[in-house]
Amino acid sequence: MRVDETTVRRIARLARIKISNEDAKSLEGELSGILDWAEELNGADTTTVEPMTRVVPIELKKRVDEITDGNIADDIVKNAPMVEDHYFVVPKVVE
Amino acid sequence: MTDLTKLTIAEARDKLRKKEVSATELTQAFIDAIEVANPQLNAYVRTTPELALKQAEESDRRLKSGDARPLEGLPLGNKDLFCTKDVETTACSKILEGFTPTYRSTVGSNLWNAGAVMLGKLNCDEFAMGSSNETSAYGPVVSPWRRAGADGQLTSENLVPGGSSGGSSAAVAADLCLGATATDTGGSIRQPAALTGTVGIKPTYGRCSRWGIVAFASSLDQAGPLAKTVRDAAIMLRSMASHDPKDSTSVETPVPDYELALAQGVKGLRVGVPKEYRVEGMSPDIERLWQEGIEWLKAAGATIHEVSLPHTKFALPTYYVVAPAEASSNLARYDGVRYGLRVEGKDLIDMYENSRAAGFGKEVQRRVLIGTYVLSAGYYDAYYLKAQKVRTLIKRDFDDAWQSVDVLLTPTTPTPAFKIGEKLDDPMAMYAQDIFTVTVNMAGLPGISVPAGISVDGLPLGLQLIGKPFDEATLFRAAQVIEDAAGHFRVPQRWWETAR
C-alpha cells in the first residue's frame, strides 16, 4: 500500500498532529512500509472467523447506576494548562 | 558490612523481620546507590527520597511492633506509567510534562498498602512505545551490562536495557531497587528482563488492574513485576494482583500465594515447544539456550512435546495494526485542554495540532498516524477488522496447544541486547524484537522471562514460559526449575562507580 503525501496530510489532520514538509516526506515511506507488512494478513483465511473482542471470556460487569464519586472539581482542573472558575479555557470556537 | 543493595526481596524481607537491618538503612543504601549510578544509567526520571524515607520510618515502626505487612520496608522502583499521587507522572512524554495526579494506580496502592517503599519513578519508552527505552523524552537508559571484548575486559559501548520497561530492568540489574513495577503490551516486561538478566512476568490479562496506569493499548496492556529472582517476582505479583471494580476487565478470581508453587517442581508437567518459533535470524546463542532449557526441564521430570502454533507468522503485523489503533484512540485525550502541554494556535484545532506535534515524540506520532489510518473510513475492514480476526486465529492456536501441553517454552528475544542507536531509525527492525512475546498479549496469556544463559560476548539471555489463562503458578514452578539449573546472572562489574 503506497501512502502518498496527500494521504499522510489527511491522516495527520484526522489525528490532530501538525507535521512539517520534511516529516510528511519521511512518513510516506515509513507508513507505507508498515502497511505493506500489515497486508501480509491477507494470507490468513478469515472467512468464517469472528473478530476478537475480548481475551478473557467474561461478561462485562455492571454496577448499580448510582453516584459513587464527585465534588472533586479542584482535582479535575488541577493539571489543566488554563482554567477559570473550575472551567477549562479553550480558544474561542463560536463567533 | 554487606552491600544491602545486592539483596533479593526474599533476603531483605528476612533481614528486616530478624531486625538485622532497618527499613531506613536499607532505603538509604538505595538512595545513595541511585545518586552514584543515575547520572550515567538514567534509570530514574524522578527520585522521591523524602517520601521513601518517610515510608521506611513507618515500616520500621510496624516491624518493631510486630505489625509488618507482606512487603514491609522493601524499596521498589515504579515505572513512570503508573500514576502516583502528588508525584509527577509523565509516561516519559513531553506532552504530560508537569502532570501531577491527584490519585494513585491500583497496582501502586496495592504495593504501598502492603508496606513497600517507593524510591522514585523509572524511565521507559514514551507511552511504553518502544523496545529499547530510546523513545523516552528523558533520553535513553544505559544498560548496566556491557559486552566483553576479546581480551575478556568489558567494552565501553553503551547498550540498551530493552523496553519499554528499560528503566525498570536497568534499575533492578544495577541494584538500584529490590524490584520494580513494569507494564507489558507486546513484550515490554519480558524483553527488558531477558536483556538484563532479570526476571519479568506479564500476568494474564485481567490479573492486575489497569486503573491509574497511563493507557497504551487497552486490550493488551498488563502490569507486572521485574525482579532479581523468580521468588522475588512471585512475591511482588501476589501483592500487585487484585480484582478492582474500577477496571471492568480485571477479573474476580483469587490470587494464589505464588511462593508456595516454587518448590513444587515440574515432574509430569507437559512442556510444549512451538516449532514456528525457530525463526530465521535467531542467534546461535539463543538456539543453544533453548535446547538447554528443554534438557533442564526434562531432567527435572517434565515431558517435552513439539506443538504447532501455525498463525505465529501473522502475530507481528496483527500487533502493529491493533496496538496503534488502540493507541491512537487512547492518546486522543492529550489535547492541551485538560492536562499537560499546550501550545497556542490561531484557533482550537490549530492549538490541538500544535500541542500534539510538540508533545509527542517521533515514534508515538508514527503509531498514532498508523492507528488513525487503519481506523479511518474505507480502511477499517481491510486492516483493523482483519487484524482482530487474525487475532482470534492466534488465540485459537494456543487453545489447541493446551489440549496436549500445560506450558510452552520459547526464547524471549531473537538476539541479546544491542547498541544504543543501532535500531532507532529502522522501526521494522525494532518491532522484530517482539517476535516471541507479542502472541502472548494477543491471546491475553501469562508469560514469564527467566535468565538462562550468557551470550558469547558476555550478555544475558532469557527463556520465556507461556501459560494457560490465570495459571501463573505453573509458570513460577517451571521458571524456578530453569533458574535452579541456570543460576543467577549478575552484572559482572559496576563500571559506573569507577567511571566517575
Give me the pLDDT at residue B466, please.
Answer: 98
Q: How many domains would you assign to chain A?
A: 1
Q: Is residue A35 part of a domain?
A: yes
Bridge partners of residue B213, in order along the sequence: B82
Secondary structure in 3-state letters for B212-245: CECCCCCCCCEEEEEECCHHHHHHHHHHHCCCCC
Q: Does B390 touch chain A (CB under 8 A)?
A: yes
| DSSP codes of every residue in B419-451 | BTTSSTT-HHHHHGGGTTTHHHHHTT--EEEEE
Q: Does A64 touch chain B (CB under 8 A)?
A: no
Mean pLDDT, residues B430-455 taken together: 95
| DSSP codes of every residue in B307-366 | E--TTGGGHHHHHHHHHHHHHHHHGGG-SSSSSS-----SSHHHHHHHHHHHHS-HHHHH
**B1: pLDDT strictly greater than 60:** no
Dmax (CA) of chain A: 57
CA distances from B403 to B236, B274, B398, B400, B418 (A): 30, 14, 9, 5, 38
CA distance B171 to B194: 14
CB atoms within 10 A of CB B295: 12
Helices A21-38 and B362-375 cross at an angle (nearest 10°) of 60
| Residue A28, domain CATH | 1.10.20
Contact between B354 and A19 using a beta-carbon 8 Å cutoff: no
Q: Is residue A61 part of a domain?
A: no
Q: Is residue A94 part of a domain?
A: no
CATH class of B4-269: alpha beta
CA distance B246 to chain A (A): 10
Mean pLDDT, residues B225-233 taken together: 98
B326-368 pLDDT, tens per residue?
A: 999 999 999 999 999 999 999 999 999 999 999 999 999 999 9
Which residue numbers of B are catalytic?
79, 164, 188
Residues 6+ apart with CB under 8 A from B495: B146, B154
DSSP B384: I
CB atoms within 10 A of CB B362: 16
**B381: pLDDT strictly greater than 80:** yes
Q: Is residue A9 part of a domain?
A: yes
Report the Cα–Cα distance between both ends of chain A, in Å, rounded: 42
pLDDT band for B153, please (50, 70, 90 cuts).
very high
Question: Which domain does A35 fall in, by range?
Answer: 5-43
Q: Is residue A26 part of a domain?
A: yes
Give me the pLDDT at residue B499, please.
Answer: 60
User: Which cell numbers hold the place of B17?
Assistant: 523481620
Q: Does A1 touch chain B (CB under 8 A)?
A: no
Give me the pLDDT at residue A63, please.
Answer: 84
Contact between A46 and B389 using a beta-carbon 8 Å cutoff: yes
User: Which cell numbers hold the place of B360?
Assistant: 509527542
pLDDT band for B183, please (50, 70, 90 cuts).
very high
Mean pLDDT, residues B291-311 taken together: 98
CA distances from B185 to A78, B15, B128, B263, B443 (A): 29, 35, 8, 30, 11
Q: Is residue A25 part of a domain?
A: yes
- Counting every residue, how long is chain B? 500
Q: Does B40 touch chain A (CB under 8 A)?
A: no
B250-281 pLDDT, tens per residue?
A: 999 999 999 999 999 999 999 999 999 998 87
Secondary structure in 3-state letters for B175-193: CCCCEEEEEECCCCCHHHH
CA distance B498 to B31: 18
Domain spans of chain B, in order of start:
4-269, 313-388
Q: Is residue A56 part of a domain?
A: no
Buried b (16+ CB within 10 A) or exposed e, B33-45: bbeebbebbbbbb
Q: Is residue A16 part of a domain?
A: yes
Bridge partners of residue B450, in order along the sequence: B463
Residues 6+ apart with CB under 8 A from B254: none
| pLDDT, mean over chain B | 96
User: Which cell numbers hold the place of B188?
Assistant: 515490554
CA distance B251 to B106: 14
- Which residue ranges in chain A fall short of pLDDT 70? 1
Identify the CA nearest to B67 among candidates B16, B11, B29. Answer: B16
pTM for this entry: 0.97
CA distance B311 to chain A (A): 8
Residue of B nearest to A79 (CA): B339
